[in-house]
Amino acid sequence: MVALTLPAGEATKSWLYLTQTVEWLLQERVERCDVMIALGGGVIGDLVGFAAAILRRGIRFVQIPTSLLAQVDSSVGGKTGINAPQGKNLIGTFHQPIHVLADTDVLATLTPRDFMAGYGEVVKYGLLGDEVFFDWLETHGAAVAAGDMAARVHAVTRSVEIKAGIVARDETEQGDRALLNLGHTFCHALEAATGYSDRLLHGEGVAIGCVLAFELSARLGLCAQEDTSRVRAHLRAMVMETDLSGIPGSLPDADALLALMAQDKKVIDGTLRFILARRIGEVFVTSDVPRDAVRGILADALAWHGQALSSYCSGATSSFQ
Catalytic site positions:
57, 79, 121, 163, 173, 177, 181, 184, 188, 202
- The C-alpha angle with vertex 46 and arms to 148 and 67, in degrees rounded to 5, equals 15
Contact flag: residue 109 with ligand NAD (CB under 6 A):
yes
Q: How many chain residues interact with ligand NAD (CB under 6 A)? A: 27
Q: How far is C-alpha 97 from the chain's CA centre?
A: 19
* Shortest Å distance, C-beta 12 to ligand NAD: 8
**Of 22, 62, 90, 110, the one binding ligand NAD by CB under 6 A:** 110
Q: Which is nearer to ligand NAD, 69 or 166 (CB)?
A: 69
User: Residue 39 pairs with which residues in a beta bridge?
Assistant: 64
Task: Classify residue 29 as left (phi > 0), alpha (psi -120 to 50) or beta.
Answer: left
**Scanning residues 178 to 237, which ones bind ligand NAD (CB under 6 A)?**
202-203
**Scanning residues 115 to 154, which ones bind ligand NAD (CB under 6 A)?**
117
Rounded CA separation 79/93 (Å): 6
User: Residue 65 pairs with which residues in a beta bridge?
Assistant: 40
**Of 20, 89, 157, 318, the one binding ligand NAD by CB under 6 A:** 89
Rounded CA separation 42/29 (Å): 26
Residue 262 CB neighbour total at 10 angstroms: 13
Contact flag: residue 66 with ligand NAD (CB under 6 A):
yes
Q: Which is nearer to ligand NAD, 275 or 289 (CB)?
A: 275
If we measure between CA atoms, which residue out of 4, 18, 77 comes closest to residue 50? Answer: 18
What is the contact surface with ligand NAD in residues (CB under 6 A)? 8-10, 13, 40-44, 46, 66-67, 69-70, 73-74, 77, 79, 88-89, 106, 109-110, 114, 117, 202-203
